Every structure is written in structure tokens, then in C-alpha cells.
Structure 1
């Protein structure tokens, strides 16, 4: 950041009084510009014994499979974000269920939140950010083509929980991926 979004003056990167971390601070008006983690929110939508997956039409990870998920918008709840992202990416309507996974991804300043959900009908198709949308059983999941580690973790927990008959909230924190994954 070079300029203040409040007044347009130059900003300095320093620790403001009363804080403990360096921030972008406007030299003119004193506005402190905080940069906080982004929330990525999605849904693990079920229909009978199958899960709704989308093949990405955009970067990052173009052509790979994921749950419908994306960045939360202002003025919406996390559950609303999960429903909106599912509608945008898979043109699918869902009933959002319980919070299922919360995964910290600190090396990219994100938190990934996945809800369990129920598809309301089979009227779905690829949205603008998807090449393909499919309902897949566990043995049909293309595990080597899953776009993000947080999605693979969520899916693995889901199938383990379904086998045990006990669903619970799962949390994790991911370390940076190895260089060959980047």
C-alpha cells in the first residue's frame, strides 16, 4: 500500500501507538489501514450418498475439483456466503446445515469455513467459475485432482464421520505447502 484510501496521502509502514504490529499508517490524516485475513466459505452439499463438486474454470488451480466456495462478501453471514457461493458456482440451491470445518491457512492470510448442506433438488449446472459440476460418491472423488488441501481435509473428515455415524466440528491449521505444490 502506498497511498491512503481515505485522503490519498502517502502511507508509512510502522507500528502505530498502542499497537504491537506494523501497519500502513497515513502520514496526513492518521488513518490506520488494517489488513486482516480473508474468509473463504463453502458448502459440502449432500444428495443421498453423493457430494456436489465443481471443476474450477478459474485460477488458482484451474481444472481441479473443489467444493463450491469463495470469498465472503460484506454484509452477509457465513451461512449466506456458503449458499451464495454454491448458487454462483454450481447453480444449485441448498439448505445450509451445521458448521463442519474451520481451517486456518495463515501463510496466505485466509480462514476456510465449510458447512454441511443438503441439496434441495437436482437442478444444478456449472456457473461461470466452473467447467463442470458433478455429484460424486466417495469412490468417485478424484483425490489427486482436488484443488485445495482444506477441501481434501474437509472431504476426508466427512467420509470418516459418515462411516462412524458421528459428525463433529473439525478444526485445523495448515502449514505452507511444499514448493512443488505452489
Structure 2
């Protein structure tokens, strides 16, 4: 659910919700200065760090899903590329150094206006630790994954694709749309 825009970020005047000329969707439009305020999906970017047959997971120290396990990922910043965001988030959440592989999953989550992009990655060493938004980090093989404690459906989907692809020995890009819960 997007926050309602009440005032123009350009001039501070109240805005009205209407379809601007040449558009097809309701937007917050400022009658005082003419600014049109667009609300677009947020990008969540991260990595699937692998060491031998195990993946690195982070136990969240923040809401939502405090105490649940996830891959190192977070919101992309302005002026950042997808790979740079994946590397930054991996370092921030798991203090881990990785070599990024290809974009592995791209999952649209329209009911919360997000798109999740996860890269395959190879851990460069075992020198990792919990970052400020993480309670702990650990390596898990497929049988050890705490499936009932995975924070987000997109992460569970990514992990399932990873283990299935590994069994078949064929890595492929996965794209999906996640329906509302």
C-alpha cells in the first residue's frame, strides 16, 4: 500500500488526485506549480551467496519479519546499478565478500509495489558476520534450510529454484509474479 501524497514536494501546496493530460493513471497533481508526483515500485536487490553446497542466510534484526531468515537483500538506492546494490546489501547484511554471477530471479510483487531481483553469487571466503540489520548469519545445505522460518515468499521461491536447478545441473533465469497472500 502506497502512502498517500497530500502536499507537493516541490512547492508545499496541497495536491489533487487526478489523471494528468497524456496519462492514464491517477496521480498526485499540484495545481499551484503543475508538478506531477509519480509513485513507482521499489526495487529489492540482493544475492544468493553460495559456498560449496551451502547458501548463506541472514536472520533479520529488523521488521518486517524480525527473527526470520532471508538472503542478504534490501532496497536499491538512487544512482546505483543492480549489481552494485546486490554487492552493497550483501556486505551490509552479512559482511560478506562475493563474486556476483548472473541475475537469477526477478519476481514482481505488485500487491506491495515491489520487484525483487536476486543474483547468484559465490562467497569469496568464510569471513562473514552479522551486519547491523542482522541477528546472525549461517551457511545451510538444502536439508538444513529452516523453511518454516523464511521471511519472505520471494526468498523461499528463489531457494527452491536454486536447489532444483542444482539437481538438474542447469542454471536458468527465473521470472515470476507473486500473487497476494
**What TM-score do the two structures reach when normalised by structure 1?**
0.96
Residue 55 of structure 1 is matched in structure 2 by 59
CA distance in 2 between counterparts of 1:140 and 1:80 reads: 30
CA distance in 2 between counterparts of 1:77 and 1:97 reads: 15
Residue 147 of structure 2 is matched in structure 1 by 143
Residue 157 of structure 1 is matched in structure 2 by 161
Find out whether 1:169 has 2:173 as its counterpart: yes
Residue 119 of structure 1 is matched in structure 2 by 123
Deviation of residue 153 (structure 1)? 0.2
Residue 45 of structure 1 is matched in structure 2 by 49
Deviation of residue 27 (structure 1)? 1.1
User: Number of aligned pairs?
Assistant: 177
Q: Secondary structure at the match of 2:77?
A: coil
Unaligned runs of 5+ in 2: none
- 1:96-148 deviations in Å (ceiling 9; x for gaps): 11000000000000000000001111110000100010011111100000000
Of 81, 102, 108, which aligns to 2:85? 81
CA RMSD across the alignment: 0.5
Q: Secondary structure at the match of 1:176?
A: coil
Unaligned runs of 5+ in 1: 178-182
Deviation of residue 9 (structure 1)? 0.9
